[in-house]
Amino acid sequence: MQWLLVIGIIVLLYSSLVGLLNILFPEKHLDWDNINTDVLNFPETFTWGVATAAHQIEGHNVNNWTQFEDRENKESSGSACDHWNRWQDDHNLLVELGVSSYRFSIEWSRIEPNQGDWNEDAIQVYSDMIDSLISKGIEPMITLHHFSHPIWFEEKGGFYQQQNISYFVDYCSRIFPYFSDRVNKWCTVNEPDVFSIMGYHMGMFPPGLRSPLKAIRVMKNVMVAHGEVYHRLKHLNPNSYVGLAKNVTIFDPYRRWNLLHWLTTFALNYIWNGAIISALSRGKMYGKSVTKVKNSADFIGLNYYTHVLTSPFLPQTTEIDLPSRSHETVTEFGYPMYAEGLERATKWLNKLAIPIEITENGVADGEDSLRPTHLKRHLWVIADLIAKGVDIRSYYHWSLMDNFEWAEGYSMRFGLYHVDYENQQRTLRNSGKTYQQIISRHNK
């Protein structure tokens, strides 16, 4: 009979522990049928924007990504949206939408195609872009590294080698003065988490490696690079507003009664979110000191897309569909539509006590059947957070137009504008019109 007692105690302890975890870490779901997402109240000072990245739209870049596309026989980015030749027209799309800010990235491989080889013509084009935006009353926000960099940097080992950080820091310090008289908002790096894990653990971004330890090392080096760049830029212009874009993915246990699922959840939340927040708030990451990273951001950019339901058998490639709750709508990318997670994401970021800029949020939806709802739900959550006192200053929708979606190529369409890649025609989608109306209502 004794063993029955032992089993009983174990069951009791297990269920109390799991019960406690469920209370402490709830997975919030709202009853969207009873929420009117047409009522959105934002402060007048709120910044409305859209975001893009150089390699995804410019066309004909030569960088670590094109090298990877060729080597791995991936869909080639090719002409992309031919934005490099059509940027003037594309700026008119921004005007049509009515945005007051535009987040885009400048391509290191265009500016410094060979080490020390400085391409003044390319710099001039970016400079003209900035002037054009300002003349249209649109505030530029520049990202210095959005997943792509020159081949020479990649061949030296990229961010895997700590000694290479200085190349990036030097490049940033040199390019910054060209634009800093006109550009105030700067993102040093885009998503150190996605960049390192997709490239070094999932093997789906260049260099296509599959080693969790390498991914962690790269993530740390990218954060150190961010910290160095932050201090350099602030030294050059103390008034500039410098931060980074952090992808916050929320990890939830797939089975909420399974302790193993909880343990995986905690591990992934720490690796993906906690380590970077800890670097910024405490100057410590994966047990190592990254002192210059502490307090190295005037704002934190939030890129929010989804939550991931976690188990120890999580797929090792994003090509396998992720699990979802039965009531959740699953988007073309395989992500559950989970706007509630944006609120949970800000809880991570609030630890930093600095302003939050929503630097990306959007959905792959070629038919545009989900995007209007997706947009309004996320905006509703943001408005609600602002009303509760969270310091969120902007929203940059991902993306202005369909573009080259990295590992997924052209199959995933994230644009408020549809792009016909045969003739490069852009067409405003209904979701684009929805966004346009929301902006115009608030900018009156």
* Site of interaction with ligand BGC (CB under 6 A): 53, 190-191, 194, 247, 303, 360, 398, 405, 414
Minimal distance, residue 204 CB to ligand BGC, in Å: 11
CB of 285 closer than 8 Å to CB of 275: yes
CA atoms within 13 A on the CB side of 148: 32
Decide whether 32 or 410 has the Cβ nearer to ligand BGC. 410
Decide whether 253 or 431 has the Cβ nearer to ligand BGC. 431
CB of 126 closer than 8 Å to CB of 102: no
Decide whether 42 or 200 has the Cβ nearer to ligand BGC. 200
Look at phi and psi of residue 273 and say left if phi exceeds 0, alpha if psi is from -120 to 50, else beta.
Answer: alpha
CB of 37 closer than 8 Å to CB of 376: yes
Minimal distance, residue 304 CB to ligand BGC, in Å: 10
Q: Tokens for 70?
A: 């060729």
- CA 133 to chain centroid: 22
Q: Which helix (H) or strand (E) holds 340?
A: helix 340-350
Minimal distance, residue 194 CB to ligand BGC, in Å: 5
Sign of the alpha-carbon torsion through 267, 271, 274, 278: positive
Rounded distance between C-alpha atoms, residue 145 and residue 164, angstroms: 14
First-to-last alpha carbon distance for the chain, in angstroms, is 76
Q: Tokens for 259?
A: 């302790």
Q: Tokens for 13?
A: 């302890």
Alpha helices in 369-408, H assignment, sequence order:
371-387
β-strand partners of 336: 330
Decide whether 167 or 398 has the Cβ nearer to ligand BGC. 398
Minimal distance, residue 191 CB to ligand BGC, in Å: 5
Decide whether 153 or 398 has the Cβ nearer to ligand BGC. 398
Q: Which residues of 257-296 are buried (b: 16+ CB within 10 A; e: fewer)?
A: eeeebbebbeebbebbbbbbbbbbbebebeeeebebbbeb
Decide whether 286 or 410 has the Cβ nearer to ligand BGC. 410
CB of 120 closer than 8 Å to CB of 128: no
Minimal distance, residue 115 CB to ligand BGC, in Å: 26
Minimal distance, residue 43 CB to ligand BGC, in Å: 26
CB of 339 closer than 8 Å to CB of 380: yes
Minimal distance, residue 33 CB to ligand BGC, in Å: 28
Minimal distance, residue 105 CB to ligand BGC, in Å: 9
Decide whether 217 or 397 has the Cβ nearer to ligand BGC. 397
Minimal distance, residue 374 CB to ligand BGC, in Å: 13
Separation in Å, CA 318 to CA 30, 136, 321: 27, 39, 7
Minimal distance, residue 350 CB to ligand BGC, in Å: 21
Decide whether 252 or 360 has the Cβ nearer to ligand BGC. 360
Decide whether 126 or 406 has the Cβ nearer to ligand BGC. 406
Pairing of strands 185-190, 241-247: parallel
Decide whether 90 or 191 has the Cβ nearer to ligand BGC. 191
Rounded distance between C-alpha atoms, residue 343 and residue 356, angstroms: 12
